[in-house]
């Protein structure tokens, strides 16, 4: 059947249109042109980085962690002892919340203290090679770094073996032509791979038995049950102070590990925005010999800290808190028996959900790569400000092994080589076992506890390590 000329012209028009022959030039594009590809958002940059560097370490747990990080977090309500405690607790119970510290199974502490072989630091902190995270080996054997999280230039750099020198055994007088020139971006990627490739080493680090669990009766933290994603209402003032403080429940762990007593002298080295200082003040008795020194480096952060103190504590309490604006690596007097150092870190949950103030912004790459050195210096400063026999708690809100166990290992090695200060790791198994109903802990942390986010109880991430200064 022959086509009429009209139908033929109509088909010819459709064909030409599909072939873009008659498409206006400004509507034509080539997908391969770089300027047509949308740049990755800061959140997407962070997620790709985590896919590449966290997945090899957390393995089968990573898909669950990834989804949880991208989901809405849960919070806890830390009750303020300077408000109407009974009324606040009754209101929180009426909406279905419960104090997870009261429901903690403290009775298991004796069993946990006698069993340090389960998820606890080993004597002399000797780490078997099978548990180390060496990306050079895993790339060859397990394809550890997830290439989907990296762009083409990054994948090529990984395939090149991080730019390893293949002529290291040649005669030094022999001329070796340059095989590849790396851009500044490639060099930064090599540095990032090196910093994230935490490989645990055998170091002589004593492990002390766990202290008995001793939760302060003045510290109360209410959470909703597993799977309940209800939100707490905004706190209302009671007796002139807000009734509770909303925070991530995992942020309570560093203060519990610090085991603050009413007459302790406490230094909060990186105090702002003030959540952990708030909890410390619940356990301290500032009228009975207790002291709290809060420090931070930025005026804006100190302003937030002062605002927290003003809203939650009577004036005679907030005025007794010493607040300083100093670099945390500065020299502090060695007068504190308890020191908390909650260091700046990747802030994983913020990094994958907020583009503002995101460390994974391309222009902040060098700042992010310098975090591990800052963390190490802060921890050394905290140890030096603690009296012999005192306790230091190191904490982060990241899953990065290099910023968690890696910093503890690096500090222990540096102190052993450059000073006469001796430290030991305190076993945290009782804390882990007693709170296992509320938190999910990672089983490969060498020197502390790592809280993994889960969909049922979406707290964390958080890392806590407890150290004791011996001399």
397 counts as catalytic: yes
* Number of residues assigned to the chain: 471
Q: Which pair of structure tokens corresponds to residue 117?
A: 């072989």
| DSSP annotation string for 326-375 | --TTS---S-EEEEEEE-----HHHHHH--TT-TTSGGGHHHHHTHHHHH
For residue 270, say whether it is annotated as part of any ligand binding site.
Answer: yes
Euclidean distance between CA atoms 146 and 125, whole angstroms: 30
For residue 240, say whether it is annotated as part of any ligand binding site.
Answer: no
The alpha-carbon radius of gyration of the chain (Å, integer) is: 27
From the candidates 241, 345, 386, 397, which is the catalytic residue?
397
Residues 6+ apart with CB under 8 A from 265: 290, 291, 293, 335, 336, 337, 338
Bridge partners (DSSP) of residue 341 are 394
205 secondary structure, DSSP code: -
For residue 17, say whether it is annotated as part of any ligand binding site.
Answer: no
For residue 296, say whether it is annotated as part of any ligand binding site.
Answer: yes
Bridge partners (DSSP) of residue 469 are 423
Bridge partners (DSSP) of residue 323 are 294
For residue 272, say whether it is annotated as part of any ligand binding site.
Answer: yes
For residue 271, say whether it is annotated as part of any ligand binding site.
Answer: yes
Query: By the 8 A CB rule, do 338 and 390 touch?
Result: yes
For residue 170, say whether it is annotated as part of any ligand binding site.
Answer: no
CA distance between the termini of the chain? 101
Please identify every residue annotated as catalytic: 397
> Could you tell me which residues are annotated as the binding site?
270-276, 296, 342
> Could you tell me which residues are annotated as the binding site for S-adenosyl-L-methionine?
270-276, 296, 342
């Amino acid at each position: 059947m022959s086509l009429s000329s009209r139908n033929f012209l109509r088909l010819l028009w459709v064909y030409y249109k599909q072939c873009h022959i008659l498409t206006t030039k400004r509507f034509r594009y080539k997908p391969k042109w770089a300027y047509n590809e949308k740049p990755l958002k800061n959140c997407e940059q962070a997620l790709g980085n985590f896919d590449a560097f966290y997945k090899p370490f957390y393995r089968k747990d990573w898909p669950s962690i990834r989804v949880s990080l991208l989901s809405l977090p849960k919070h806890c309500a830390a009750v303020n002892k300077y408000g109407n405690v009974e009324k606040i607790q009754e209101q929180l119970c009426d909406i279905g919340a419960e104090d997870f510290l009261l429901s903690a199974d403290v009775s298991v502490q004796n069993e946990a203290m006698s069993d340090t072989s389960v998820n606890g630091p080993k004597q002399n902190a000797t780490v078997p090679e099978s548990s180390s995270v060496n990306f050079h080996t895993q790339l060859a054997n397990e394809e550890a770094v997830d290439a989907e999280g990296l762009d083409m230039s990054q994948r090529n750099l990984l395939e090149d073996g991080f730019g390893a020198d293949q002529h290291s055994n040649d005669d030094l007088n022999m001329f070796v032509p340059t095989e590849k020139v790396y851009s500044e971006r490639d060099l930064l990627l090599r540095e990032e791979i090196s910093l994230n490739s935490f490989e645990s080493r055998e170091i002589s680090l004593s492990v002390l038995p766990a202290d008995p669990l001793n939760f302060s009766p003045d510290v109360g933290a209410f959470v909703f049950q597993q799977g309940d994603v209800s939100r707490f209402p905004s706190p209302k003032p009671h007796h002139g102070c807000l009734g509770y403080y909303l925070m991530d429940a995992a942020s309570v762990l560093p203060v519990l590990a610090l085991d603050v007593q009413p007459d302790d002298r406490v230094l909060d080295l990186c105090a702002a925005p003030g959540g952990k200082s708030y909890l410390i003040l619940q356990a301290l008795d500032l009228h009975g010999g207790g002291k709290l020194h809060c420090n931070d480096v930025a005026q804006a952060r100190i302003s937030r800290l002062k605002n927290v103190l003003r809203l939650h504590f009577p004036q005679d309490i907030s005025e007794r808190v010493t607040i300083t604006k100093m670099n945390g690596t500065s020299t502090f007097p060695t007068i504190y028996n308890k020191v908390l150092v909650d260091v700046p870190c990747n802030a994983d949950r913020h990094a994958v959900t907020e583009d503002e103030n995101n460390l994974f912004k391309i222009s902040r790459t060098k700042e992010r790569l310098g975090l591990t050195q800052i963390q190490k210096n802060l921890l050394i400063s905290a140890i030096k400000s603690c009296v012999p026999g005192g306790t230091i708690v190191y904490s982060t809100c990241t899953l990065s092994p290099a910023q968690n166990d890696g910093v503890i290992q690096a500090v222990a090695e540096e102190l052993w080589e450059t000073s006469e200060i001796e430290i030991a790791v305190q076993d945290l198994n009782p804390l882990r076992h007693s709170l296992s109903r509320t938190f999910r802990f990672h089983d490969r942390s060498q020197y502390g506890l790592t809280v993994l986010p889960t969909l049922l109880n979406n707290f964390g991430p958080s890392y806590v390590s407890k150290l004791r200064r011996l001399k």
